[in-house]
Structure 1
Amino acid sequence: MVSQVLLRVWYQGRALTPEFSSLTRFNLNFQEERRREGQEFSVLSSSHGVYNSSNKFSTNGHGLQVAAHSQFQNPGGIEDRQIPLISANNPCGGLPRFHVDLLPAVKGMVVQLKGDEFWHMTRVLRLNLNDRVELFDGKGGIVEASLVQIRNTSVELAAVRTCQVLPPTSPHWHVAAAFGTLKGGRGDWLVEKCTELGAQRLTPLLTQRSPAIPGQRTDRWQRMSIAATKQCQRLHVLEVREPIGVQSLLPEVAKANVTFLATAGATPLVEAMTGVPKHLEGGLLLIGPEGDFTGEEIQMLVEAGAVPVGLGQCRLRVETAAIAMLATVMLMSDNHQTYARTS
């Protein structure tokens, strides 16, 4: 039995197309290399036309696809496997990704990009007319688009398919940490890593020992969140909220599915996580300032429903404690979700 594996071939950042002889030769060399490994390859177009034995092929201009025909052995015999094509509807596609506030809703609709995204597209990546990109709005929407106009300070892109909106797939963890006074880029680092780990929301926390945050920091952190979202292939941007005091946070502590409060000498976080429901979809993580929460603040948070948890025997910086907590709960939440799907 012969199985078929479909995948799109990319060369120097773009899908292979037949109009460039160098790309054509690259494709044939790719085919010959695979033949030496004992596998047979056929070149397919996007409309699924197959080239003949003379190595000719057809395409509709959207790039070539390669179908690998090979046999896979396993203890149960030979099985069929298929790898889905990379496309704009795949949250981990192979195209450069750019953020826009409002996506083109339907095929052919045009949007304009300016500012940082324009600079990144034209000056850093040096994309040209007709190059393909992915556009996302940070709310789950994503669409593939093509460059149709390049100006001095802006570009226009036309959607090549209808926009899709995908729901969040990770647990909804909210990190509230007293990181506003961190220096040396440590606060920026925290925003970036919370984004990469999949936190849904990040709140700079005002406490008695960290009562203020320098101006303009929140705007900077939101921009950094968008950049990190692009890098890690998320579709939903981490929400960086305005600073909030402990007293104002108490209602959120009370209504959260679970609230973990980092404090010295408490039950280890991993042990506390074993007691939460396996279907837990998120919660609230609280991290105090360098000098920790005051006794009064801890009492208020615990009375509102927070569960004190420990993070080991070493004294941790604010950003280290926040990332340690978030990584732990995200990984254990993923394990719980996997267990629930397979049960």
Structure 2
Amino acid sequence: MNQVDKVYLDLCNYILEHGTKKEDRTGTGTISVFGYQMRFNLQEGFPLLTTKRVPFRLVASELLWFLKGDTNLRYLLENNNHIWDEWGFQKWVESNEYNGPDMTNFGIRSQKDEEFNALYQEQMKVYQERVLNDIDFAKEFGDLGNVYGKQWRSWEGADGQTYDQIQYIIDEIKRNPDSRRLLCNAWSASEIKNQQLPPCHYAFQFYVLDGKLSCMFNMRSNDVFLGLPFNIASYALLTHLIAHECGLEVGELIYTGADVHIYSNHIEQIQTQLTRESRKLPTLKLNSEVKSIFDFELNDIELVGYDPHPTIKAPVAV
């Protein structure tokens, strides 16, 4: 079994065996543990799970969205990426402008009521089309507030200045690779009330040794089945991109999670995944002609040799 699937599935087993039932904001319910760490050697292949298909283009387009400093869903929708739609949709249906069918608790109701799910899908399509085609609507209801892209690229300091944390990290790696300050923070106490979803992966730090770049990312809350495979791949891609610009190889990716949980309606899916044998990890190929990570587009990033087991579908808890 490859090291990525093994370490991830070990976590799944650990939660099922040692986790505690815990209620949550979404009302779905979880099995949760507090505090867990995983390590991945990026030299052994790109850490994208093979025991189920993880859509890499969605991972890549989301990361490029962050790196652009963007917080509006329009870019994601233009790239057929819908992983943030529910949070923007929630903002719309809870506003005074919305006058359609009642969408209260749409995340849970759509899973249990086929008739309601049809209405929900219809309203979601309306929302997506308006974000894509109505600039004013997109500004008001497509923007998720000061989430990752804003905090990464335009952090607002107490001194009234804005700071580009990603550019600082790149410049500092080139200038002083032994620095212990290669850190980006997305958690701002004063901004939480303005964020549709406060950052789950709230901080990350880089470390350079022997010409290799390693990264550790921290998560306050983590949906193990749907979210974590994306998070691992996203921070691995970020590490590759920064290493590319700084002329380094990649080293380790380290995950540290606080409330690490499996949603109660994902247990069957996890159990299915646990029965599968892993396959060879893919490799990542970046366009060598692109020098700055801020200039990368989707077509400059290629995943080679990815042959996973089929997708396992599961509902998103909103």
Structure 1 length as normaliser, TM-score? 0.24
Choose between structure 1 and 2: higher strand proportion: 1
Choose between structure 1 and 2: higher helix proportion: 2
Structure 2 length as normaliser, TM-score? 0.25
Who wins on radius of gyration, i.e. which is larger? Answer: 1
